[in-house]
Amino acid sequence: MTFRRTRAIFRKELWHILRDPRSLASALGQPLIMLIIFGWALSLDLDHIPTVIYDLDQTPQSLDLVRDFRGSRYFSIVDEVHGYRPIEQSIDAGRALMGIVIPNDFSKNLGLGKAAQVQVLLDGSDSNTAAIAMGYAQAVISTHSQNIQVNMQSLRSGNVTAGGVEPRVRVWYNPDLLSQNFIVPGLIAVILMVIAANLSSLCIAREWENGTMEQLLSTPVRPAELALGKLSAYFVVGIVDMLICLLVGLYGFGVPLKGSLALLMVSSCTFLFGSLGLGIMISAANRTQIKAYQMSMMTSFLPAFLLSGFVYSIGNMPRVIQFVALFVPARYFMNILRGVFLKGIGLEIVWFDFLLLVVYGAMVFYFATRKLRQKVA
């Protein structure tokens, strides 16, 4: 393999990219659009849950509980109704997610020292959101119950009751618990995987469809030189995409970068090389752009989005799916991204993930070159 022939393929492919401004604008604009849409629209934060209150007791004790719900940032009281039917209508129409029903014997049971019940009605059509909302409601009611018990003991004994255990929680790495700080670094991995695979997966197939591959085969260019030259041209575009994602994540979404920028760039380039090599291999195996595009989406977007830990925890998946996820390179790159962005960890911790990305890039490039050699033969 000679550098001169590789450089010639690189210049040819890069000129072809620059000569098509619409494709270039799409390649550079698509990551920005995906980052903005997913970064803002895909949120795991659940605040201001629309809640309907049905208070049958109408006593100072029941109003104290209602005030606790009003004072919580997780709930937004949209209406106070006088029956079950308005609660059902509000949930069916999507105006409310939760209904709180306080029975008419609430204060009576509290005065007698009995357990006072509160009914919580939830829209379970979205099970994840309902589970989170139920946890928030239980926390508010439990805190209210503890305060009542402490006050009643103080009144009975005439002394101030000594406090019990009070948790002081400190959240590391993402103290505000913002889902954007978790989603945006992972989204960079998904975008690079999708864009890189889609860009490079069409280059060889386009040569076959345009009839220019025969002209390349008549030259002394070797398969490895052809693959590396084309990959290098799209590598430049991928680097620009990566910088766009990085700048938007840092300054657009305010995601903190606590770790080494050099480690982030090196690992991103390594992952980008492997993703582009995957696209080259797919393009070499399919002579039509439609097949190449379909295969690239199946091997890049779906695994990177579903099996990389981007949104869904791999530990909660079935054992078979967890085994399949071991072969998704975006999973390891995502560990590096989140570790560098949020935790500020270095290569001494993520070295194994980085090593797997290096092995992945080398293997994909080898098989892409081998597939090209078979096509040439």
* Mean pLDDT calculated for residue range 126-139: 85
**Which of 213, 121, 218, 196 has the alpha carbon at shortest distance from 357?**
196
Which pLDDT value is given to residue 44? Answer: 66
Q: What is the pLDDT of residues 49-82, one digit of tens each?
A: 899 999 998 898 889 999 999 988 889 999 999 8
d(CA 31, CA 255): 17
Q: What is the pLDDT of residues 318-370, one digit of tens each?
A: 889 889 989 999 899 999 998 999 888 889 999 999 999 999 999 998 888 88
Which pLDDT value is given to residue 167? Answer: 66
Q: What is the pLDDT of residues 275-327, one digit of tens each?
A: 888 888 888 777 777 887 788 888 887 888 888 888 778 887 888 988 998 99
How many CB atoms sit inside 10 A of residue 128's CB? 9
pLDDT, greater one: 102 or 165: 102
* Mean pLDDT calculated for residue range 85-98: 89
pLDDT above 90: percentage of residues in the chain: 19
pLDDT, greater one: 249 or 43: 249
Q: What is the pLDDT of residues 181-210, one digit of tens each?
A: 888 888 888 888 888 777 777 777 777 777
10 Cβ neighbours under 8 A, 6+ residues apart: 229, 230, 232, 233
Domains, in order of start, for the chain: 6-43+179-376 (no CATH), 49-157 (3.40.1710.10)
CB-based contact 6:228 (threshold 8 Å): yes
Which pLDDT value is given to residue 160? Answer: 53
Which pLDDT value is given to residue 214? Answer: 64
Q: 215-223 contacts: CB < 8 A, separation 24 or more?
A: 217/376, 219/5, 220/5, 221/5, 221/8, 221/9, 222/1, 222/5, 223/369, 223/370, 223/372, 223/373, 223/376
Type and span of the H or E element at 80:
strand 75-80
* Mean pLDDT calculated for residue range 9-32: 78
User: Mean of the per-residue pLDDT values for the chain?
Assistant: 83
Length of the chain counted residue by residue: 377
d(CA 197, CA 202): 9
DSSP code at position 340:
I
Q: Tell me the backbone φ, ψ of residue 369, rounded to 5 degrees.
A: -65, -40
